[in-house]
Chains A and B, each alone.
Chain A
């Protein structure tokens, strides 16, 4: 994104409308990350709006020499998702899993069931593993970027992703056993 520094400078110079370009560019990754980290499809857009607003408010603290804008933005999204989860867990202990709809051809049903189980397994992963998996697998970030966002070492991220994948692999194997 070669023009990104110019867009950021324009926003800092008072052209708030230029921020729209950043919102359009990063809305998908931010909403996706929040959805995958919080496991909440309903509130993730509201939280994503708060993330962009927070980014706008503290844009002058962004240092391009330290990280890419996407990394900085996703770090805000990560921190706000964690805070949101903490508050939510105080309110409710557990949320019901979405129902599996058993309609359509057998192959589709099997796949939907498997996806629903994977969704459930993702929700039940430890927070750190879920965040690492989300950053690397769903957002397509490198281990280095994920490590910067999580404020940890690359090896730790690799290990968390590996453990998360192993847990999901177990779920897939269990699905396969059930189909037999």
Chain B
């Protein structure tokens, strides 16, 4: 057999993939679990946003950021007062 033919046959052989029977099923099982996790997390955050009473994520995030900055300033002031 000539080199080129042998090489081509080897390439063809390597292209043949025998997948396990359950491959797709296993992937989809994991995909659905991941989706359920994502949905649960999203729902939890939605509930938090709803409970806090803000109409959008951006609004809630802005308020959270402002709260953190405010807390930071308070802590900094306390530190300056106590250790001055």
Nearest-neighbor residue (CB-CB) of B9 within chain A: A111
The interface-forming segment of A20-28, A71-79, A91-99, A149-157 is A20-28
Which stretch from A45-53, A61-69, A81-89 is at the chain B interface?
A45-53
Q: A80 CB to closest chain B CB, in angstroms?
A: 14
Residue contact B24 to A168, C-beta cutoff 8 Å: no
- State the main secondary structure of chain A at its contact with B: helix
Closest CB-CB distance, A180 to chain B, in whole Å?
A: 14
> Please, what's the 1-or-0 string for A122-144, where 1 marks a CB less than 8 Å from any CB in chain B?
00000000000000011010000
What is the CB-to-nearest-CB distance from A115 to chain B, in angstroms, rounded to a whole number? 5
Interface size, A (range): 20 to 34
Does any Cβ of A come within 8 Å of B32's Cβ?
yes
Q: How large is the interface on B (under 10, 10 to 19, 20 to 34, 35 or more residues)?
A: 20 to 34
Residues in chain A near residue B34, CB distance under 8 A: 53, 56-57
Is A38 interfacial (CB-CB < 8 Å)? no
Is B27's CB within 8 Å of the partner chain A?
yes
Contact call A172/B23, Cβ cutoff below 8 A = no
Stretch in B10-18, B52-60, B76-84 with 4+ CB within 8 Å of A: B10-18
Contact B23 A114 (CB under 8 A): no
Q: Is the CB of B17 within 8 A of A28?
A: yes
> In residues 103-130 of chain A, which contact B (Cβ within 8 Å)?
107, 110-111, 114-115, 118
Kindly state the separation between the CA atoms of A48 and B30 in the bound complex, as whole angstroms: 12
- Chain B binding surface SS class: helix
Asked if A5 lies at the interface with its beta carbon under 8 angstroms from chain B, I say no
Say yes or no: B24 contacts A24, CB within 8 Å: yes
Complex alpha-carbon distance, A17 and B27, angstroms: 11
Say whether A32 contacts B24, CB under 8 Å.
no
Given A19-B28, A53-B34, A56-B31, decide whether A172 and B17 contact each other with a Cβ distance below 8 A: no
Decide if B7 is an interface residue (CB 8 Å cutoff).
yes
The complex places the Cα of A171 from the Cα of B28 at a distance, in Å, of: 41
B73 at the interface (CB under 8 A from A): no
B11 touches A173 (CB 8 A): no
Interface string of B28-61 (1 = CB under 8 A from A): 1011101100000000000000000000000000
7 new A-B contacts, CB < 8 A, other than A23-B31, A31-B17, A31-B19, are: A17-B28, A23-B24, A32-B17, A35-B17, A45-B20, A49-B27, A115-B10
Q: Which residues of A contact B (CB under 8 A)?
A: 16-17, 19-20, 23-24, 27-28, 31-32, 35-36, 45, 48-49, 52-53, 56-57, 107, 110-111, 114-115, 118, 137-138, 140, 168-169, 172-173, 175-176
